[in-house]
Amino acid sequence: MRGTTVLPGTPCREPRGGEPPVHRLEVRLPEQVPFAAGGFDAMGPMSRADFPHRHTFYEIVHVVEGTGAHVLDTERYAVRPPQLGVILPGQVHRWEGVRGLQGSLVLFTPEFLVGGAGDEELLRRLGERPWVDLDPAAHARTSLLMGELADEYRRGDDGFAGVLRSLLHVLLVRAARMPGGRAGAPQRGLAGDFLGLADRAAAEGLSVRECAGRLGVSAGYLNEAVRAATGRTPAALLREARVREAQRLLVATTLSVRQVAARVGFGDPAYFCRFFRREVGCTPGGFRKHHDRPAPSIEGDGPGS
């Protein structure tokens, strides 16, 4: 991804009408490494943002104190330290009613992972279980690693980017080993590239053929590679990603159902409603009613049904 890392003082990218704001990662000079680590206070007030927003970067959060809730897409997780959370690029999240929130954060863009041994796939798998309670031993190990990452980043000694990547890899592998985690074997090659693209493709309303074009292969070859690696078709995986993106927009915005349909690649709102009901078990309007009131949209036509 290009353009995801900005210099301090650069405003966030303006979202499309009615969507949550998009936050990009600020980098320091002169190194311009797309990475940051430190406590909530060191990361600034946006680290505790209480309004729905997206990131163009990954965030790993180690919560050691506080109460309240963390809302990620359509799920709410109670803050009961010590805990470890993972937020993937494109997900919508916010902190709700938090008090005394303390801990440490690691932020990095997808390009920071270039050359990593399956780290992007590990993150995708960790994102399937994004909020975990830590036992005393896991908490101690995580605290040590988060502290080393923050210290290495702060010092910026020669070769620090390589050290950061190594420490981050250890953190991801250990997180995947935690009870209930799914370390598994990373999906390499074309299938892994498609899985990494799926959520972004859903947000942009891309088809499988358009995804194949972005990956430089034919749609038929992409289908064979993804089926061989995952046992599922690209169309099925992209369908799931489109459902996730639609759910995010229904919960986090007041975009009308027609607008949500268009955002995820459906020109016909009626067909989108049938698709959503088949996949989720209720209409888009019904899904919205069962979740918290979405954040105000900058578009004026309000929610539809």
Of 38, 51, 127, nearest to 95 (Cα)?
Answer: 51
pLDDT digits (tens, 9 = 90+) for 172-202: 999 988 875 444 444 457 787 788 788 888 8
C-alpha 207/C-alpha 27 separation (Å) is 33
pLDDT of 156 = 86
- 136 membership: H or E segment, kind and range: helix 136-155
pLDDT digits (tens, 9 = 90+) for 242-299: 888 898 888 888 889 999 999 888 989 999 999 999 988 889 988 888 775 444 333 3
Beta strands in 33-169 (DSSP E): 35-39, 53-55, 58-72, 75-78, 83-87, 92-108, 131-133
> Residue 17 — left, alpha, or beta (φ > 0 → left; ψ -120 to 50 → alpha)?
beta
**Domain residue ranges in the chain:** 5-177, 189-289
278: which 2 tokens? Answer: 């088949």
How far from the centroid of its chain's Cα atoms is residue 279's Cα? 22
61: which 2 tokens? Answer: 């959060």
pLDDT of 1 = 29
pLDDT of 182 = 43
Of 273, 260, 265, 206, nearest to 234 (Cα)?
Answer: 206
* Pair 241, 201: CB distance under 8 Å: yes
C-alpha 74/C-alpha 49 separation (Å) is 17
pLDDT of 296 = 39
- In three-state secondary structure terms, 64 is strand
pLDDT of 31 = 61
Q: What is the dihedral of CA 293, 299, 302, 305, to 10 degrees?
A: -90
Q: Do 5-177 and 189-289 show the same overall fold?
A: no
pTM over 0.85: no
Query: In which residue ranges of the chain is pLDDT below 50?
Result: 1-11, 29-30, 181-187, 293-305
pLDDT of 39 = 93
CATH T-level topology, domain 5-177: Jelly Rolls (2.60.120)
pLDDT of 181 = 45
CATH superfamily of domain region 189-289? Homeodomain-like (1.10.10.60)
